[in-house]
Amino acid sequence: MNNCQKYGKPPGYLYWRWKPDGCDLPWFEPQRFLDLVRGKKLAFIGDSIARNQFESLLCLLSQVDTAIQIEGNSTSKYRTIHFQSSNFTLMVMWSEYYVKAVPNTNCDAIGCFDLYLDKVNLNWTSRLPGLDYLVISGGNWLKTFVRTYSTAHFENGAWFNGGNCNRTEPFNESEINLYGYQSEVAKVQNEEVERIKGSNVVDNDNKNYFGVLDVTEAMMRRGDGHPGGYYNKHRKTANDCLHWCLPGPVDMWNEMLMHNLIKTSSLG
Confidence band for 208, pLDDT divided at 50, 70 and 90? low
Rounded distance, CA 33 to CA 257, Å? 9
Q: How far apart are CA 2 and CA 245, in angstroms?
A: 5
User: What confidence tens digit (pLDDT) does each residue in 212-240 have?
Assistant: 788 888 888 899 999 999 987 666 678 99
In tens, the pLDDT along 141-175 reads 346 676 777 888 988 888 888 899 999 999 887 77
Give the residue numbers annotated as catalytic, written as ranges: 48, 240, 243
**Residue 78: pLDDT band with limits 50, 70, 90:** very high
AA identity, residue 203: D
Q: E strand or H helix at 67, and its extent?
A: strand 67-71
Q: Could you tell me the residue ranges of all domains in the chain?
A: 5-10+17-264
Report pTM. 0.82
DSSP string, 201-216: SS-GGGGGGEEEE--H
- pLDDT over 80 at 257, yes or no: yes
Which SS3 state, helix, strand or coil, does residue 189 take?
helix
State phi, psi for 81 to the nearest 5 degrees: -120, 140
Length in residues, the chain? 268
